[in-house]
Chain A
Amino acid sequence: MKGSRFYYEFYNPAKVEAGIGCLEQAAEKLPLLGLHNAFFVCDRLENNDSADNVRKAVNAAKVRTGAIYVCEDKIVRLESLRDMRDVYRANNCDSIVACGSYGVINAAKTLRMMLAGQVARFEDAKGIDAVRKKVNVPLVAVPTDVGTSNVASDDVTLKDDEGAVFECVSPLCIPDFCIIDPKVVSVRDADAPIAGALESFAKNIEEFVSRQAVTLTKCMNLIAIREVRDNFVKSADDPTDEHAVFGLQKAGLLAGICYVGASAGIAHAISGALASVTGRERYICTGIIFAECMRYNLEVAEKDYAQAYYYIVGDDKYAATPAGERAEALIAAAETMIKEKFGANRLATRLSDIGADEELLDKIVEETMKSYALVTNPRNVTKEDVYAILRSVM
């Protein structure tokens, strides 16, 4: 009998309710998940219709708001987490509802991991699958930005008291219930769809070519890439188009689900390091380096890129492009999309635009090499490779 070396694990326990205006209907299910006295986390209190609406829907489902916490961190600080834990305990909360963008969802995910695993020190939760569930602390996540992939992923990035960034990966970080409703999306400026679309697109492409990818995650990635194609331009032209925003949200959700199974790659690692060193938004960093990262992986991911090209351009253009040129064409298409949209919105397209000069390179490379995402990149990444990528977009 011929043996096998093939092995994979797939697990994503997030319960998803998605749809335009699905918030109220979805919130009715919250008591069934064990929510009675919820700890509500959001990014601001004033002029925050999204958070108000979510809170109203949650209260209408007979779930009390035990406490409200405003978390403004882009990368969650341990200090904020300690505060949150104290407020949670002082108000006898039994569950968490997070309504906000990347930082808020990450903060709630980390808090849940700590509380459910009864971890005394935040440092003890560092690692991959390091925390075991001991008590039930339901977490409900309602993203208010366009392409929040972290809503269904199992990773969180945190900043310790010295300002060093570290990652935690645990199934306990995955929310029990994700409510995806474009009516809750609060950021309606022209950059929001670009940020959402780019983050989703980059993550899905990286997961698609990841070493860890399996047929199931690849299919999810391709569906997500098609959603980005169908909705990116519509959403960028009209950020209030709910159908287009919903499409991008679905793409983000799928990227998050696949992240658990497939992780990401070099672009995720570099953009994380860039964002942490320069303090700029992650999507801007992704936009700068993504095409170069794709080019770097081209020699090992050519077949996958060629396949993904179909989902970006559709029938006619795909059929008209010779098979050997499709991978390059995908990179060119991504580059054009980023340059056109970034240029039109006066966003950064070079490293120098975000203040990352030669002096910061060493720090950025060092941070990049620490990233867990490099493990699943299809090519083995060396420091020299990262320097080369960064220098090409200086």
Chain B
Amino acid sequence: MSTFGFSNDVKILCGDHALDNLPYELRERECTRPLLISDERSYRLGFVKEVRHAMDNDIVALGATYYKISEKATPKDCDDVINLYKAHGCDGIIALGGENVTQCAKVAKLMLLQGVGDFVYFNHKFDMDAEKLAYGDLPLFILPTEIPCGIEATDRASVFDEKNNLLYNFESVLTRASAVILDVRLTDIMPAKAMATAGLGALAMSIKGFVDNTTNPIALAYATSAIHTIINELLPAMRHNSNADYRISIYSSIINAGIAYYAIDESLLRDIATELSIKTEHSHLQILSIMFPVYYKEKVTTEKPFKSVLMPLVGEEEYALSNAKSREIKAIDKIKDFWESVVALAEIPSRLQSTGIEQSDFVKLADAVITRYRGTDPHNNFTTIVKLLEEAF
């Protein structure tokens, strides 16, 4: 039965002078005193100033500014944001920065809509099925200043409690942004290494999104467009990292890849990457960039529609000429070749050992992944996970 559901009402504004549309979008949502949250890095690089400049008019003005979000979003950050929001009578949030700011803003929005001011209490009250209607909406604009992390336009958010070593994961429409604004002026030139890691991570997300969304044509299109863009533009983007067109193109494909990846309910790859990122303090995309060639090589027999991935990887011409029976193998080879060329060009870590994890941790890790995994695929068991980790080590 090919039943599917899809919902994503995040507006994406991407490219030249996208930031100039922010005041208009705020006015459209009757938001006149937004709270701008950011981190030290974005402040130092002058991005906060850029946003202030864009907001310079009589109708919309920043209600307050907060640029002290930690390197990893924590419950304390969320509490601080909420307190400031309430104290200054703000009516919307602008999140300017990297993954930390995005995560913090999304969780803060969720907490504000549910009317809970204390994080610990909030966590108990959390309702996974909360719909927008019950709580209304709060304008949230996400302005990535570094390479996006893929969750910008999704229903997901997470914050890490370092004290208790706990990762709080949230999935709710209430975490959704009103719009994601990707402006060239807010994206600095990225080192080839960072671009390579994020690009490969996004490729992993989009391939996963492609394979698991075959019955959902909308999510499939998001995945296909991301694969196509990354395969064609990641290497030029790394070679010419001052070229804004390539950079924006890769950034928007990461956002699209995220939409397809998080449209899947359950994914072993995602759970492995999540656990490893908690353990190693590396980002989800970094872990994916290391893990995914191994994962697909191992899982190609169980990921049935894998041969169709060849199409966005090589294009219509090569796909039509390829032998229908060997398309899975060809897709794996293509992924491997691409991965190797990116890794070689950027000299990024290609094995798990470079993340600082020990082989002795694998059993514990596999246990944690199995606990997290809610899928029903019998192939995704303890042995498979340990095998995957060892292969990637």
Contact flag (A, B; Cβ within 8 A)? yes
* Chain B 214-229 residues near chain A, CB threshold 8 A: 217-218, 220-222, 224-225, 228-229
B319 contacts A6, C-beta separation under 8 Å: no
Residue interface mask A129-141, B partner, CB < 8 A = 1: 0001000100000
Residue interface mask B111-141, A partner, CB < 8 A = 1: 0000000000000000000010110000000
* Chain A 213-254 residues near chain B, CB threshold 8 A: 214-216, 218-220, 222-224, 227, 246, 250, 253-254
A46 proximal to B (CB < 8 A): no
Residue interface mask B9-53, A partner, CB < 8 A = 1: 111111111100000000010000000000000000000000000
B316 contacts A4, C-beta separation under 8 Å: no
In the complex, what residue of chain A is closest to B28 when comparing beta carbons? A132
**Could you tell me the distance in whole angstroms from the C-beta of B98 to the nearest C-beta in chain A?**
20
A121 proximal to B (CB < 8 A): no
In the complex, what residue of chain A is closest to B227 when comparing beta carbons? A219
A18 contacts B3, C-beta separation under 8 Å: yes
- B interface residue count range (under 10 / 10 to 19 / 20 to 34 / 35 or more): 35 or more
A22 contacts B248, C-beta separation under 8 Å: no
**Could you tell me the distance in whole angstroms from the C-beta of B243 to the nearest C-beta in chain A?**
5
Q: Please choose the segment from A7-15, A54-62, A183-191 that sits at the chain B interface, where 4 or more of its residues have CB less than 8 A away.
A: A7-15
A160 proximal to B (CB < 8 A): no
**Could you tell me the distance in whole angstroms from the C-beta of B209 to the nearest C-beta in chain A?**
12
The one of B6, B15, B16, B245 that contacts A16, using a Cβ cutoff of 8 Å? B6
Contacts of B324 in A (CB 8 A): 315
B145 proximal to A (CB < 8 A): no
A220 contacts B244, C-beta separation under 8 Å: no
A45 proximal to B (CB < 8 A): no
* Chain A 300-323 residues near chain B, CB threshold 8 A: 307, 310, 314-316, 318-319, 323
A16 contacts B1, C-beta separation under 8 Å: no
The answer for the CA separation of A282 and B256 in the assembled complex, in Å, is 34
B245 contacts A227, C-beta separation under 8 Å: no
The answer for the CA separation of A13 and B6 in the assembled complex, in Å, is 10
The one of B12, B134, B253, B320 that contacts A315, using a Cβ cutoff of 8 Å? B320
Contacts of A20 in B (CB 8 A): 1-3
The answer for the CA separation of A338 and B133 in the assembled complex, in Å, is 45
Residue interface mask B283-309, A partner, CB < 8 A = 1: 000000000000000000000000000
* Chain B 235-257 residues near chain A, CB threshold 8 A: 240, 242-245, 248-249, 253, 256
**Could you tell me the distance in whole angstroms from the C-beta of B200 to the nearest C-beta in chain A?**
19
- Known contacts being A9-B11, A33-B133, A315-B319, is A219 close to B225, with CB within 8 Å? yes
B5 contacts A310, C-beta separation under 8 Å: no
The one of A15, A219, A246, A314 that contacts B228, using a Cβ cutoff of 8 Å? A219
A310 contacts B16, C-beta separation under 8 Å: no
The one of A7, A33, A216, A227 that contacts B225, using a Cβ cutoff of 8 Å? A216
The answer for the CA separation of A381 and B93 in the assembled complex, in Å, is 44
* Chain A 239-298 residues near chain B, CB threshold 8 A: 246, 250, 253-254, 257
A17 proximal to B (CB < 8 A): yes
B224 contacts A2, C-beta separation under 8 Å: no
**Could you tell me the distance in whole angstroms from the C-beta of A318 to the nearest C-beta in chain B?**
5
Residue interface mask B342-375, A partner, CB < 8 A = 1: 0000000000000000000000000000000000
Contacts of A250 in B (CB 8 A): 217
A257 contacts B256, C-beta separation under 8 Å: no
- Known contacts being A4-B245, A8-B15, A250-B217, is A34 close to B133, with CB within 8 Å? yes
B5 contacts A16, C-beta separation under 8 Å: yes
Contacts of B87 in A (CB 8 A): none
Contacts of B8 in A (CB 8 A): 12
A3 proximal to B (CB < 8 A): yes
The one of B14, B317, B321 that contacts A9, using a Cβ cutoff of 8 Å? B14
A10 contacts B184, C-beta separation under 8 Å: no
- Known contacts being A18-B4, A20-B1, A33-B131, is A254 close to B16, with CB within 8 Å? no
- Known contacts being A4-B15, A6-B248, A254-B217, is A215 close to B225, with CB within 8 Å? yes
A223 contacts B217, C-beta separation under 8 Å: yes
B221 contacts A223, C-beta separation under 8 Å: yes
**Could you tell me the distance in whole angstroms from the C-beta of A19 to the nearest C-beta in chain B?**
3
Contacts of B243 in A (CB 8 A): 2
**Could you tell me the distance in whole angstroms from the C-beta of B177 to the nearest C-beta in chain A?**
12
In the complex, what residue of chain A is closest to B24 when comparing beta carbons? A129
Residue interface mask A13-45, B partner, CB < 8 A = 1: 111111110100000000011100000000000
B84 proximal to A (CB < 8 A): no
The answer for the CA separation of A11 and B11 in the assembled complex, in Å, is 5
A90 proximal to B (CB < 8 A): no
The answer for the CA separation of A323 and B321 in the assembled complex, in Å, is 13
The one of B6, B217, B218, B256 that contacts A227, using a Cβ cutoff of 8 Å? B217
A7 contacts B3, C-beta separation under 8 Å: no
The answer for the CA separation of A316 and B7 in the assembled complex, in Å, is 36
The answer for the CA separation of A10 and B259 in the assembled complex, in Å, is 13
- Known contacts being A19-B3, A219-B224, is A6 close to B12, with CB within 8 Å? no
- Known contacts being A223-B224, A318-B320, is A9 close to B13, with CB within 8 Å? yes
Contacts A8-B15, A216-B221 given; 8 further ones with Cβ under 8 A? Answer: A4-B248, A10-B14, A16-B6, A17-B3, A219-B220, A223-B217, A307-B316, A310-B319
Name 8 A/B residue pairs within 8 A (Cβ), A-sorted.
A1-B242, A3-B16, A11-B9, A11-B11, A12-B8, A136-B133, A216-B225, A219-B228
**4 closest cross-chain pairs (CB), A and B:** A19-B3, A13-B9, A7-B15, A4-B244
